[in-house]
Amino acid sequence: MPQRIVIDPVTRIEGHAKISIYLDEEGNVADAEFHVVEFRGFEKFCEGRPFHEMPGITARVCGICPVSHVLASARAGDAIMAVNIPPAADKLRRLMNLGQIVQSHALSFFHLSAPDFLLGWDAPPAQRNVFGLIAANPDLARAGIRLRQFGQEIIERLGGKKIHPAWAVPGGVRSPLTPENRDAIRARLPEAFTTIQHALELWKKTMSRHQREIQIFGNFPSLFLGMVTPDGGWEHHGGKLRITDSSGSVIADQLDPQRYYEFIGESVQTSSYLKSPFYLPLGLPDGMYRVGPLARLNVAEHMGVPRADAELKQFKKLGRGAVTSSFLYHYARLIEILACLEFIEQLLDDRDLLGDDLRADAGINALRGVGASEAPRGTLFHDYTVDRNGILKRVNLIIATGQNNLAMNRTVAQIARHYIRNGSTEIPEPLLNRVEHGIRCFDPCLSCSTHAAGQMPLRVRLIGPDGTILREVTRD
């Protein structure tokens, strides 16, 4: 007999995505803040550990992007050992990162975001989710799951089926790719290409219906930061950094991620455990920058693979200079998935990929090492300082979601200004839906950036000029 049970919505570690919207004297929106209230202490936790353990430890920061941490951590270890890793190891790391971007973007697009713009912004939240998407378009939902599985499968075939693949290590990687695993990955590529092609077609069909969202979902000038190849192409691992402004002008190029502290400052807000990095030469607020798919496509002159290159040309037509609407993160994600699939296809034909010279070995040759890699949500930095025995004395992690923190605040404020005017103290349902999605455009990984785990209910507060809470709404 069916038994009715009540499951406490917060059975695990709780974190809240809390949003405060501040009104001015006239009752218009003055500002907004996206708070993250979970304690952040991972950097301290790592002190005293041997640096070579860090890929395995930092992989456990996050359940969605462990690979990004493994790769950035391994690169920081490479720098401490001052080694150039073997070509096979570099290419295998790249392959794993491509799989990671595919799986993470697939989750973001198909399961978290597509229900909003395919089912309608004002559909009830109970329907505006993946189950509603299944009801409306089961083939798309199933294909989205399989695309994510494909990315995961690449990771598993390289790193094994452990929860967190500490497979990349300082100096290289632990194990090679077998011909069988290479062939198995290759066999799934056609289906993945078909899925992303359909998703791109669907996106283009529906984009015209969302012109208002394109205008108000975080559409503002900012800087953009991302990795590029030496000739300015799209890069995801091992590249240098480029910063462009909203006119599309390059304001800094071929910056060495090892010296990030010379051009990135880190501010701290009392209201959030997220750090808010900024471009140091411009200070705040002008130094606010965005990272992730939108930024990477803005800083890149080309993708380096033909099909994604054609998409990039279309994408760039959506902006004057840079593409500034955060809503178009979704489109950028799809283009990046396509690029990843093309790069995976290329890599699988590379003879170096099956090589068995996988690790460079060395002692401690530098007391500070920085590793950077493009995580799905943006550039990720791991900065380690060690003693002569390789024991960590200081750890600094700059996470993609943190780098988008200021832009997320501004996105929320922009959306709120559209819906709250002239002294209204209501938090209308359309506002709630759109604020939720405005943040989702950035696909923030709050477990990652705050090192918490668990569910993330949304709580929105409307605060008057005297600090009084005028209204509060929670959506679990």
Binding site for another protein (CB under 8 A): 2-3, 5, 7-8, 10-14, 17, 41-42, 44-45, 57, 60-64, 66, 107, 111-112, 125-126, 128-131, 134-135, 138, 141-142, 145, 148-149, 152, 163-164, 436, 439-440, 444-447, 451-458, 475-476
Could you tell me the smallest distance in angstroms from the CB atom of residue 45 to another protein?
4
Residue 63 or 190 having the CB closest to another protein: 63
Dihedral pair phi/psi, residue 217, rounded to 5°: -90, 80
Residue 11 or 422 having the CB closest to another protein: 11
Q: How far is CA 90 from CA 54, 313, 365, 405, in A?
A: 18, 29, 20, 31
Q: Are 299 and 244 in contact (CB under 8 A)?
A: yes
Q: How far apart are CA 103 and CA 403, in angstroms?
A: 21
Q: How far apart are CA 276 and CA 195, in angstroms?
A: 36
Residue 364 or 456 having the CB closest to another protein: 456
Closest to 473 measured CA to CA, from 419, 433, 439, 421: 433
Q: In DSSP terms, which residues pair with 19 in a beta bridge?
A: 34, 460
248: left (phi over 0), alpha (psi -120 to 50) or beta: left
Residue 17 or 399 having the CB closest to another protein: 17
Could you tell me the smallest distance in angstroms from the CB atom of residue 348 to another protein?
22
Q: How far apart are CA 69 and CA 381, in angstroms?
A: 9
Could you tell me the smallest distance in angstroms from the CB atom of residue 238 to another protein?
26
Q: How far apart are CA 134 and CA 413, in angstroms?
A: 32
Could you tell me the smallest distance in angstroms from the CB atom of residue 385 to another protein?
19
Number of neighbours of residue 202 by Cβ within 10 angstroms: 16
Could you tell me the smallest distance in angstroms from the CB atom of residue 436 to another protein?
5
Place of tokens 């502290």: 261
Q: How far apart are CA 332 and CA 311, in angstroms?
A: 9
H helices of 257-393, in order, are: 293-299, 306-316, 329-348
Burial of 351 (0-12, 13-18, 19+ CB in 10 A): exposed
Residue 52 or 475 having the CB closest to another protein: 475
Could you tell me the smallest distance in angstroms from the CB atom of residue 159 to another protein?
14
Residue 302 or 459 having the CB closest to another protein: 459
Cis-peptide into 66, omega within 30 deg: no
Burial of 372 (0-12, 13-18, 19+ CB in 10 A): buried
Residue 99 or 238 having the CB closest to another protein: 99
Could you tell me the smallest distance in angstroms from the CB atom of residue 85 to another protein?
26
Could you tell me the smallest distance in angstroms from the CB atom of residue 243 to another protein?
28
End-to-end CA distance of the chain: 29
Q: Are 98 and 237 in contact (CB under 8 A)?
A: no
Counting Cα atoms < 13 Å in the Cβ hemisphere of 222 gives 29
Residue 112 or 282 having the CB closest to another protein: 112
Residue 164 or 382 having the CB closest to another protein: 164
| CB crowding 42-79: b at 16 or more within 10 Å, else e | beeebeebebbbbbbbbbebbebbbbbbbbbbbbbbbb
Residue 78 or 116 having the CB closest to another protein: 116
Could you tell me the smallest distance in angstroms from the CB atom of residue 129 to another protein?
4
Could you tell me the smallest distance in angstroms from the CB atom of residue 111 to another protein?
6
Residue 138 or 306 having the CB closest to another protein: 138
Could you tell me the smallest distance in angstroms from the CB atom of residue 148 to another protein?
5
Could you tell me the smallest distance in angstroms from the CB atom of residue 118 to another protein?
15
Q: How far apart are CA 21 and CA 73, in angstroms?
A: 37
Residue 127 or 385 having the CB closest to another protein: 127
DSSP conformational letter for 38: S
